[in-house]
Amino acid sequence: MLKTDSVFALYAYVRSAGLYSAVEQELNLTYHSSLESLTKVCGVVTLNCPLHPETEHMLNEQTLKNFKRGAYLINTARGKLCNRDAIVDALESGQLAGYAGDVWFPQPAPNDHPWRTMPNHGMTPHISGTSLSAQTRYAAGTREILECYFEGRPIRDEYLIVQGGQLAGVGAHSYSKGNATGGSEEAAQFKKD
């Protein structure tokens, strides 16, 4: 725990396997083997993980009950990591003191999306990574991928997500098989006629 005047910060994380202890010490991190363990002690939880079948609605009515009462939740990863209605209920009951994010499900959010009117929220459009330097990197990467494709050269692993219908490159390390992003019955109710 880090103390600066009267502010205490606990840097904690959850992942399938912990980091090396030297890294944890250097970064002042505390490893938690479960989401429940982490959310019981943290006053602010930020989501920084990919969306795949195992993480879809990882924050739902049950997991939000395990949060430290009055905690804040920040989601700049994927909207579908959170159950939409469970977030609203947690804010209305005071289980969560606030929710902030720049991701919605579905996206773009319809005018009547409950996150637009829930209490104690700070929602913005999803604009992460749109600095000029980030746009330059995206453009260079896209150009390299297209050049490789049209010249019949292999695409570097760091740019690969799927190849031949299978997860490949960084995609094979970042995602699991399944369909959490293809939409759902939940998304269908928001389609405009």
Residue 109 belongs to a domain: yes
Which amino acid is located at 183 in the chain? G
CATH label of the domain that carries residue 26:
3.40.50.720
Would you state the pLDDT for residue 27?
A: 77
Residue 57 belongs to a domain: yes
Residue 167 belongs to a domain: yes
| Domain range for 158 | 132-188
List of long-range contacts for 51-55, beta carbons under 8 Å, 24+ apart: 51/77, 51/78, 51/80, 51/81, 51/180, 51/181, 52/175, 52/176, 52/178, 52/180, 53/176, 53/177, 53/178, 53/179, 53/180, 54/176, 55/81, 55/180
Quick one: 136 and 116 in the same domain? no
Quick one: 111 and 156 in the same domain? no
Quick one: 19 and 58 in the same domain? yes
Would you state the pLDDT for residue 80?
A: 93
What's the CA gap between 142 and 136, in Å, rounded? 10
Q: Is 8 exposed, middle or buried (0-12, 13-18, 19+ CB in 10 A)?
A: exposed
Name the pLDDT band for 4 (thresholds 50, 70, 90).
Answer: very low
Name the pLDDT band for 1 (thresholds 50, 70, 90).
Answer: very low
Quick one: 107 and 140 in the same domain? no
Name the pLDDT band for 44 (thresholds 50, 70, 90).
Answer: very high
Provide the domain count of the chain: 2
Residue ending a domain, choose from 105, 123, 141: 123
Closest Cα partner for 103 from 78, 133, 69?
Answer: 78
Residue ending a domain, choose from 66, 90, 123: 123
- Summarised one tens digit per residue, pLDDT across range 94-148 is 999 999 998 988 877 888 999 989 999 988 877 666 778 888 888 898 899 999 9
Chain centroid to CA 145: 26
Quick one: 67 and 86 in the same domain? yes
Quick one: 97 and 32 in the same domain? yes
Residue 193 belongs to a domain: no
Quick one: 33 and 119 in the same domain? yes
Quick one: 12 and 81 in the same domain? yes
